[in-house]
Amino acid sequence: MPIAASIKKDNSVAGDRTSTDFSQREFPMLSKDFKVIQEVALAETGISLSHHKQEMIYGRIVRRVRALNLANFTEYCTYLQKNLNAELMDFTNAITTNLTYFFREPHHFEYLKDTVIPKIKSNKLNNKKLRIWSAGCSTGEEPYSLAITLKEAGWPAGWDVKILATDLDTNVVAHGKAGQYKKERFEGMDKGVQKKWFSHSINKDENGRESQLLTVEPSLQNMILFRKLNLLQQWPMKGKFDVIFCRNVVIYFSKDTQRVLFDRFADILNPNGFLFIGHSESLNRVTERFETLGRTVYRKKD
């Protein structure tokens, strides 16, 4: 069942207030407008927007108000409600945050390499199939970091290895699929790893300014399938996964949404499958279907 059909509305987002007066801005936003944005975001994406995020949301949605040549947020909210199917993609792309980098939270990749990979290798010698899901992959740094980790760990030839990378934002999915990144995104990455798995090129913008681009090696791209996916809706995947990375995603969800989502993750994981979540996230009082292995790494219970 899709999460949207089973969660309760989280009314906590209406509990706090801000002194900022958005009614006096160039494109006025009233409290009733923000409430509409909250409700649509929660119902369609599971994202719970508290009132202290009004400034951020104003700055992001005002681009849509301008693009649609509307006078204020009230007109935008009316447009959003009447044209939900047509506007939902742009609305979602506007409100989602996509800050990430290669090998974010490096202890997760170390644990994957040193503990998870050897265990899967020894337990799956018969079918020799590995499936990993990067849920909320943003611009692709996480799934490519997973692919590099597998390669660096010397994953044996002859195995059927696939990484599914999904995100709600169509723009970042396209970015990840293209596999091109500016040099500054590689700060902190080992130079040897960077040289081994990325090729360098020079890019010129429309003003003639040059910047360095690094492009992912095709062998890594071939391991990854990028797809747009709303975690609240039906999942098209048929088979099960050995590992799921869903990091820094559920912090935007209500507890009710988290409970349903983690239950679905447990359902789609193989027995004793592994779940990695963000450093500020926890399964405490959310689900009892996983056991903690420390540092936001979990294993599905039998």
Reported confidence tier of residue 98, pLDDT bands at 50, 70, 90: low
Closest by CA position to 139, among listed 106, 168, 105: 168
pLDDT at 123 over 60: yes
**CATH of the structural domain 3-95, one choice from 3.40.50.300, 1.10.10.10, 1.10.1740.10, 1.10.155.10:** 1.10.155.10
263 catalytic per annotation: no
Q: Which fold has domain 106-300?
A: Rossmann fold (3.40.50)
Highest mean pLDDT among 15-29, 39-53, 133-147: 133-147
Please state the rounded mean pLDDT for residues 167-187: 89
Q: In the chain, what percentage of residues exceed pLDDT 90?
A: 58
- Please write the tens of the pLDDT for every residue from 223-278: 999 999 999 889 999 999 999 999 988 887 888 889 999 999 999 999 999 999 99
pLDDT of residue 155: 82
For the chain, domain boundaries = 3-95, 106-300
pLDDT at 165 over 60: yes
Amino acid, single-letter form, for residue 203: N
Please state the rounded mean pLDDT for residues 73-78: 95
Catalytic residue among 10, 167, 169, 242: 167
pLDDT at 222 over 90: yes
pLDDT at 24 over 70: yes
Looking at per-residue pLDDT, the higher value among 121 and 13 belongs to 121
pLDDT at 16 over 50: no
Q: What is the 3-state secondary structure (H, E, C) of 179-247?
A: CEEEHHHHCCCCHHHHHHHEEEEEEECCCCCEEEEEEECHHHHCCEEEEECCCCCCCCCCCCEEEEEEC
pLDDT at 83 over 60: yes
Looking at per-residue pLDDT, the higher value among 52 and 178 belongs to 178
Residue with tokens 């902190």: 188
Q: Do domains 3-95 and 106-300 have the same CATH topology?
A: no
CA distance 141 to 143: 6
The pair of three-digit structure tokens given for residue 133, joined into one six-digit string:
């899901």
Asked if residue 108 lies in contact with residue 116, where contact means CB atoms within 8 angstroms, the answer is no
Please state the rounded mean pLDDT for residues 13-32: 71
- Within the chain, residue ranges assigned H as helices are 31-45, 54-67, 73-82, 84-95, 106-111, 117-123, 141-152, 170-178, 191-197, 218-221, 255-268
Q: In the chain, what percentage of residues exceed pLDDT 70?
A: 92
167 catalytic per annotation: yes
